[in-house]
Amino acid sequence: MAASIVGWAHSPFGKLEGETVESLIVQVAREALEHTGIGADDVDEIVLGHFNGGFSAQDFTASLVLQADERLRFKPATRVENACATGSAAVRQGIRAIESGAARIVLVVGVEQMTTTPGPEIGRNLLKASYLPEDADTPSGFAGVFGKIAAAYFQRHGDQSDALAYIAAKNHKNGVENPYAQMRRDFGFDFCRNESDKNPYVAGPLKRTDCSLVSDGAAALVLANEETALQMRRAVAFRANQHVQDFLPMSKRDILLFEGCSEAWARSLKQAGVNLKDLSFVETHDCFTIAELIEYEAMGLAKPGQGAKVALEGLTQKDGILPVNPSGGLKAKGHPIGATGVSMHALSAMQLKGEAGGIQIKDATLGGIFNMGGAAVANYVSILERVK
């Protein structure tokens, strides 16, 4: 690949009092440039990932990145959106600008502010990422959509509540050591497995601990072409980057197969010339625990219907054969929609540079990332490798 990550920045995720979409963008944009060791005048293009969908009164936000430094004025700046994969869509647009030769250095920012929105409105906003002619009346919003997916999976493959609880407990345990994570608490398997006043059922078989969090936050990357990257302080190269878009209506697909996810992984592994077993870790899109379970199967870690075995045997724990979500994932880290994909890339770059602190995977050499929008509609996979 022609593009490398040469710098990054990451805000805390959570309910960020006193912050705005603008302040979050400005913070991470400035910090990413400083981390890279370049000035704003070195940037050729800007890409902002911002879902919004009703979360922010301020729309048309691409130019807010220019507030980080007056020298960014007159640079091309574009906002992109692809539901919960918005951040990865921004990363991919930055890569393509570099590959085309149109840019040497691209600043990519992802942002969302969700917690200032009333709860019922949050549900309506998120449900817009589903196919409304079929899903508009789904109780509990997008959680209800994945509740239906979980119920269908249980019907086909049996009750997998133990596996979902293991996934939730794993990700919460991992998130304890992530300084950016919204929820840094190890709940343990028993709490995640059992219904309680603090862990009620939300939709179908999904409990509160099966659902990702409503979050504010931002992250940023600086991307550079190969020649430029080799002159920088650090460089993490894209061995692969693929985008696969599937049908929006779930009725047109077997929703339990996440076929778009499978295709994106297959194309990326082929492009990178590696196998799944070559990866040191994976950051995957656990918007709900049932999603991570099905993604085990879609990426090829388990056969269809056998993802629970992977979870229950600990294969995806930090000390397992393929650690999945050492960051804590969306489950513990939080899920500010537009920032999520950028965050996944930033944290993976930290891993490969050995700069991930308490969430570090020892001797990490290759990292895989899967970020999706909707119910496996927008599917993005990156494979990263440290260059310097």
Model pLDDT for residues 317-363, shown as the tens digit of each residue: 999 999 999 999 999 999 999 999 999 999 999 999 999 999 999 99
Is residue 1 over pLDDT 70?
Answer: no
* Dihedral class, residue 261 (left if φ above 0, else alpha if ψ from -120 to 50, else beta): alpha
pLDDT at residue 121, rounded to an integer: 94
CA 169 to CA 188: how far, in whole Å?
5
pLDDT at residue 17, rounded to an integer: 97
Q: Which of 9-13, 123-127, 215-219 has the lowest mean pLDDT?
A: 123-127
Residue 111 lies in a domain: yes
Q: Give the chain's mean pLDDT.
A: 97
Place of tokens 């050591």: 177
DSSP state of 73: T
Residue 127 lies in a domain: no
pLDDT at residue 83, rounded to an integer: 98
Instruction: Convert the pLDDT of each residue in 14-68 to its tens digit.
Output: 999 999 999 999 999 999 999 999 999 999 999 999 999 999 999 999 999 999 9
Burial class (CB in 10 A: 0-12, 13-18, 19+), 189: middle
CA 356 to CA 193: how far, in whole Å?
29
Residue 74 lies in a domain: yes
- Tokens, residue 243: 């985008």
Residue 265 lies in a domain: no
Widest CA span of the chain, in angstroms? 58
Is residue 378 over pLDDT 70?
Answer: yes
pLDDT at residue 9, rounded to an integer: 99
Confirm if 110 and 219 have CB atoms less than 8 A apart. yes
Instruction: Convert the pLDDT of each residue in 160-172 to its tens digit.
Output: 999 999 999 999 9
Percentages (nearest 5) of helix, strand, coil residues in the chain: 40, 20, 40
pLDDT at residue 2, rounded to an integer: 87
Kindly state the average pLDDT of the residues 217-230. Answer: 98
Instruction: Convert the pLDDT of each residue in 264-314 to its tens digit.
Output: 999 999 999 999 999 999 999 999 999 999 999 999 999 999 999 999 999
Q: Output the domain CATH number for residue 85.
A: 3.40.47.10
Residue 80 lies in a domain: yes
Instruction: Convert the pLDDT of each residue in 297-310 to its tens digit.
Output: 999 999 999 999 99
Domains in the chain: how many in total? 1
**40 lies in which domain range?**
3-117+214-229
CA 202 to CA 260: how far, in whole Å?
27
Q: Which of 86-100, 129-143, 210-224 has the lowest mean pLDDT?
A: 129-143
Residue 56 lies in a domain: yes
Residue 374 lies in a domain: no
